Homo-oligomer: A and B are copies of this chain.
Amino acid sequence: FSQLVYEDDYGVNNINKTSILDYPRFSHRGILLDTSRHYLPLKVILANLEVMAMNKFNVFHWHIVDDSSFPFLSRTFPNLSQQGAYHPYTHVYTPVDVKSVIEFARMRGIRVIAEFDTPGHTQSWGKGQTDLLTPCYSGSSPSGTFGPVNPILNSTYDFMTSFFKEISSVFADAYIHLGGDEVDFSCWKSNPDIQKFMEQQGFGQDYSKLESYYIQRLLDIVSSTKKGYMVWQEVFDNEVKLKGDTQIHVWKMNPQYQDEMARVTAAGFHTLLSSPWYLNRISYGQDWQDIYRVDPQSFNGTPEQKKLVIGGEACLWGEYVDATNLTPRLWPRASAVAERLWSDENVKDIGSAYSRLEKHRCHMVRRGIPAEPLFVGHCGHEYSGL
């Protein structure tokens, strides 16, 4: 609605009587924020949800924990954030915080999909939960460092059962993101107990089979909570047996993401695209144009395959991003993704997109959102919210 309001030469806001027929091309239009590599204060997350709504995004993918820190305060395992957060009181999301995020999002038509990524990306989990991670060995003795979740202990699966029971009730959405990306095998390889287990299971030296073994058991656990799940593409690539409603999240640039989209949909799975939309990656110039040119359905496949593409997500990983620079780094670059996911595939002229985007960006700036400029120029009302 706010896009219809315009300011005339006298500074008066006007709106024309009109009727609108409009609907989105894709149903999943998401933004990923990473609150582990840097902690994002609650109000930054809420402010971003407001901007997402202005840009017709409808999924907040909350990559809430990772190696660096565990800011999620679990009622069942409070020690995870007590030990694993950057600070146990100032750098955590309490149950009330999480509820606020979900409700604030819901009021704006935005789903909150939490990601609890395992078995890799879990260093911070190990601080508050003994025996969860694999002890790495240096020669014949433990080195004191830890690797991915230990997949050979029953205690691991007991923990995951309790943990995901809590998660599935805290996060109301029908889907949960289980991660499953970038598992480093070197620690598993160094551990004699893991080696023995590999032998017993007949996995040979193929550690991706061990990874699949873990993920398979995890998926069974999460399925029993009646949630659907999303996973990063490796889980599919490693031929884990997946429920039919699993959504495969394509993120790699190599091999070509178009080929991965073709493979995933040929196997009959729903998929969503992020590879070309890692907005944490920056370069000098008008990179929104490449972002805008992407089409999630442009791969070799049948019309039925194309229909399995549910949308995409712009990802803002947190290595170099926190509250100080999140908004100008994400907006209006994410607005280019927003239009791609909403509008008809024929809407792709760069010149007219520039005009719309420039105007839309000044709209955001006028509302006090520090969305960065696309290029040389000015807004009638500049940002002054220093």
A325: contacting residue among B87, B321, B370, B382, CB under 8 A: B370
State whether A373 and B283 are in contact (beta carbons under 8 Å apart), knowing that A378-B69, A382-B39 are contacts in the complex: no
Nearest residue (CB) in B for A38 is: B373
Is the CB of A80 closer than 8 A to any CB of chain B? Answer: no
CB-nearest residue of chain B to A374:
B320
Would you give the shortest CB distance from A240 to chain B, in whole angstroms?
A: 29
**B38–A384 contact, CB under 8 A?**
no
| C-alpha spacing A38/B371, complex, angstroms | 14
Q: Which residues of B lie under 8 Å from residue A376 when comparing CB positions?
A: 37-38, 68, 318-319
Give the complex CA separation of A281 and B321 in angstroms: 17
Within 8 A of B (CB), among A338-386: 365, 370-378, 380, 382-386
A181 at the interface (CB under 8 A from B): no
A residues in contact (CB < 8 Å) with B: 37-39, 41, 43-44, 47, 68-69, 86-87, 90-91, 280-285, 318-325, 327-329, 365, 370-378, 380, 382-386
Residues of B within 8 A of A385 (CB): 386
User: Which residues of the other chain, B, contact A325 by a CB distance below 8 angstroms?
Assistant: 325, 328-329, 370, 372-373
- Please report the C-alpha to C-alpha distance between residue A85 and residue B325 in the assembled complex, in whole angstroms: 29
The answer to whether B383 touches A324 (Cβ under 8 A) is: yes
Decide if B38 touches A377 in the complex (CB within 8 Å).
yes
A370, closest chain B residue (CB): B324
For A319, give the chain B residue with the smallest CB separation: B376
Q: B324 to A373, Cβ gap below 8 A? A: yes
A273 smallest CB distance to B (angstroms): 20
Contact A386 B43 (CB under 8 A): yes
